[in-house]
Amino acid sequence: MADEDIEAGGGGGGKKKLIIIIVAVLVLLGGGAGAFLFLMGGDNSAAQEDIVIEEAEPVNLQAIYVTLQQPFVFNVTGDMQQRLVQVNVQLMVRGDRNETMAKQNLPLVEHSLLTTFGAATVEQLRTPQGQVEVRKQAVDTVQAAMEKVTGKTVVERVLFTGFVMQ
């Protein structure tokens, strides 16, 4: 009988220990799963932050000016005679990557600018407002051409660094 009491008492204590071990394992598993999900969620938001940074990158990058070595020389008609115009141009880009793309595609940029300048009139080029309009057209033309080739607009501004009309 004493053996039965010991077995009964030992069996009850074993069940309690088993329940405590099961609860402890469940708590550890739950905590581990929670930590895993928290860390995975943190990595995901970090990836989303990287995406946002990449999209916002061009705005934060330093402006770089790409000088076109040869001035653009072209004729414009108006006032019953032709006028000769010479324009020196620099391209403003943001970041080394855009600078490289602009330099690699200079023939395309020059062609786009010549097309725009060739469509200008003497009346446009005489006034500062007209020159601003031609610059805006030049930016739009260059950006459209660069986007077709590179998938990015690349050039932010077209600047006239020299302008002579005779």
Are 130 and 119 within 8 A, CB to CB?
no
- pLDDT above 70 coverage of the chain, percent: 73
21 pLDDT band, cuts 50/70/90, is confident
Mean pLDDT of the chain: 80
87 and 51 within one domain: no
> pLDDT tens digit string along 39-77?
666 444 444 444 443 444 445 789 999 999 999 999 888
The CATH number of the domain where 152 resides is what? 3.30.479
147 and 88 within one domain: yes
Q: Is 79 helix (H, G, I), strand (E, B) or coil?
A: coil
**Within a 13 Å sphere around the CA of 105, how many CA atoms are in the beta-carbon half?**
25
What pTM was estimated for this model as a whole?
0.61
Report the pLDDT value the prediction gives residue 16, as an integer from 0 to 100: 86
* Mean pLDDT across 160-166: 91
> pLDDT tens digit string along 101-114?
999 999 999 999 99
71 and 18 within one domain: no
Are 101 and 66 within 8 A, CB to CB?
no
pLDDT at residue 82 greater than cutoff 70: yes
Domain count, the chain: 2
The range of the structural domain enclosing residue 93 comes to: 63-165
Decide which of 37, 60, 83 is a domain's last residue.
60
118 and 46 within one domain: no
Angstrom distance (rounded) from CA 12 to CA 16: 6
Angstrom distance (rounded) from CA 39 to CA 16: 34
Report the pLDDT value the prediction gives residue 38, as an integer from 0 to 100: 61
Angstrom distance (rounded) from CA 166 to CA 147: 34
Euclidean distance between the first and final Cα of the chain, in Å?
A: 125
Residues 6 or more apart whose Cβ sits within 8 Å of residue 165: 76, 83, 84, 85, 86, 122, 125, 126
Report the pLDDT value the prediction gives residue 57, as an integer from 0 to 100: 46
Q: How far is CA 51 from CA 45, 144, 164, in A?
A: 10, 24, 45
